[in-house]
């Protein structure tokens, strides 16, 4: 029973990491930038949904849409406003800029919603009562999270294969110069990538809000775990991000169940540290072609 629960909860908590990791990888694949403010995009979108649904009393669907639009818009704004000039700069510069943005977003959230509560609850889509799924009991919202992760992955796969924009993104990710040569507007691709990354974070936020609760500081720790998951999966692969997320979730729950709960938080980092020694490009990352 312990094992079944460890696996089940690993899967459901991994779904959260996967959702965020996918957004991260989405952006990285196209632009080469790790958006360290991604966690805060997640956080702000959740608060926007709260503001629309709970504070203004509008229906859930409008809150969801508002959050996604906000995530999309904010993602684009971050690129256009701040990260675009730094595309030519070193990794460290981009990092510091993204962190600066995360400070701003956190400060704004704290100023606007900080007085509302320490961890703000958000109503779930379905009834919160646990239901029996096979051998385990689960909270319905968690099943939704897993379902949404799968659906999102399929949607993204379809997006890349079937739409023009998706193909433009793939082309840009592959070789920027060649993409420009064939007339792809690379600038638009970058903006869109950031936008879609933000939108994915928003979806994750609204779906998970009933479980994670809303507070300004949720972003950074989640980002760290999602980043770890993305690296584990190989930063160039969306499927890798999902796999990485699930694996991180599983490691955490297995460590907590079979070792001791004090290992829960650190276990995934240790595993990844060692994994990178044997697989320097992550599980599904592309092989390293070194330019000399």
Partner 1 sequence: MSREWLGGLLGVLAIATNGLVSHGLRAEDGVTNETITIGGLGALTGPGYLYGKIVMDGAEAIYKEANDAGGIAGRKIIYVRQDDRCEPSAAIAAAKKLIHDDKVFMIHGGGCTNASIAAYPTIKEQNIPWVIFASVGDSLTSPPAPYIFSTALTAAIESFAQVEFARQKGAKKIAIVSQRDAWGRDRYDAVIAAFNKAGIKPVADEEIAADSNETTSQVLRLSQAGADAVVIVLYPKPAAAFLRDAFKVGYKPLMIGQTSLGDVPVLAKQTGIPQAMERFFAISHVRYTPGDEDSKKWQALLSKYSPGEQLQIFQVLGIGSAKVVVEVLKRVGRDLTRARFKEEIQKLAGFETGILPGPITCTETDHQCHKTPAWVSLVDDKVVTVDTTTVKK
Partner 2 sequence: MSRLLGCRSLLGALFICLLFLPFGANPYWLFVGNLILIYIVLALGLNILIGFAGHLAFANAAMFGIGAYAVGLLQVRLSFPYWLALPSGGLIAMLLGTTMAFPALRLSGIYLAMATLGFAQFTQWVFLNWETVTYGAGGFRVPAVDFSPLALPPKIGIYYLSWLIAVSLVAFAWNAMSSRIGRAFVAMRDGEIAAESLGVTLLHYKALAFAMSGVYAGIAGGLFAGLLDYVAPETFDLFQMITHKAMVMVGGIGSITGSVIGATLLVLLLEALRAFKSTQEIAFGTILLVFVVFCPGGLVSICRRYLPHWQEPLHVAQHAAILPDTDSGDVSDSPPPPARAEL
Q: Which residues of the shown chain bind partner 2 in the complex (CB under 8 A)? A: 29, 31-34, 82, 85-97, 99-108, 110-111, 172-177, 180-181, 186-187, 220, 224, 227-228, 231, 235-236, 262, 265-266, 269-270, 272-273, 276-277, 280-282, 286, 288-292
Helix (H) or strand (E) holding 264: helix 264-278
Q: Is 104 in the site for partner 1 (CB under 8 A)?
A: no
Q: Which of 62, 175, 261, 286 binds partner 1 (CB under 8 A)?
A: 261
Q: How far is the CB of 190 from partner 1 (least distance, A)?
A: 32
Residue whose tokens read 């997006």: 159
> Which of the choices partner 2, partner 1, none does residue 32 contact, using the CB cut-off of 5 to 8 A by kind?
partner 2
Residue whose tokens read 């276990």: 267
Q: Which of 97, 148, 204, 218 binds partner 1 (CB under 8 A)?
A: 218
Q: How far is the CB of 13 from partner 1 (least distance, A)?
A: 4
Q: Write a three-state SS string for 176-200.
A: HHHHHHCCCCHHHHHHHHHHHHHHH
Residues 6+ apart with CB under 8 A from 237: 25, 282, 284, 285, 286
> Which of the choices partner 2, partner 1, none does residue 252 contact, using the CB cut-off of 5 to 8 A by kind?
partner 1
Q: How many residues bind partner 1 (CB under 8 A)?
A: 45
In the numeric block, which tokens belong to residue 43?
């956080």
Helix (H) or strand (E) holding 140: helix 140-162
Q: Rounded distance, CA 14 to CA 252, Å?
A: 9
User: Which CB atom, from 82 or from 213, has the smaller least distance to partner 1?
Assistant: 213
x/- map, 16-55, partner 1, by CB under 8 A: x---------------------------------------
Task: Please list, residue by residue across 37-63, b when 16 or more beta carbons sit within 10 angstroms of its beta carbon and e when fewer do.
Answer: bbbbbbbbbbbbbbbbbbeeeeeeeeb
Q: Which has the closest alpha carbon to 27: 78, 62, 89, 96? A: 78
Q: How far is the CB of 48 from partner 1 (least distance, A)?
A: 17
Q: Is 1 in the site for partner 1 (CB under 8 A)?
A: yes
Q: How far is the CB of 24 from partner 1 (least distance, A)?
A: 18
> Which of the choices partner 2, partner 1, none does residue 116 contact, using the CB cut-off of 5 to 8 A by kind?
partner 1
């Amino acid at each position: 029973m312990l094992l079944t629960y460890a696996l089940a909860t690993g899967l459901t908590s991994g779904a959260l990491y996967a959702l965020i990791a996918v957004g991260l990888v989405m952006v990285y694949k196209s632009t080469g930038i790790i958006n360290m403010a991604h966690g805060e995009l997640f956080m702000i979108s959740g608060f926007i949904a709260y503001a629309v649904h709970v504070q203004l009393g509008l229906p859930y669907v409008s809150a969801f849409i508002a959050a996604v639009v906000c995530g999309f818009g904010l993602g684009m704004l971050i690129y256009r406003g701040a990260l675009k000039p730094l595309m030519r700069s070193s990794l460290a510069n981009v990092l510091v800029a993204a962190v600066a943005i995360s400070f701003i977003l956190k400060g704004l959230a704290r100023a606007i919603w900080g007085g509302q509560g320490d961890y703000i609850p958000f109503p779930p889509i379905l009834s919160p009562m646990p239901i029996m799924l096979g051998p385990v009991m689960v909270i319905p919202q968690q099943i939704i999270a897993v379902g949404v992760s799968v659906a999102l992955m399929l949607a993204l796969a379809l997006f890349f294969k079937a739409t023009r924009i998706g193909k433009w993104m793939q082309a840009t990710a592959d070789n920027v110069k060649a993409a420009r040569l064939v007339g792809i507007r690379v600038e638009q691709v970058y903006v869109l990538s950031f936008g879609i990354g933000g939108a994915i974070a928003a979806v994750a936020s609204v779906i998970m809000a009933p479980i994670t609760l809303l507070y300004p500081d949720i972003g950074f720790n989640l980002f760290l775990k999602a980043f770890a998951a993305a690296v584990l999966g190989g930063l160039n692969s969306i499927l890798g991000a999902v796999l990485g997320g699930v694996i991180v979730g599983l490691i955490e729950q297995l460590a907590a169940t079979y070792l001791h709960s004090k290992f829960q938080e650190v276990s995934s980092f240790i595993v990844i540290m060692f994994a990178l020694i044997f697989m320097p490009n992550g599980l599904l990352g592309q092989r390293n072609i070194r330019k000399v």
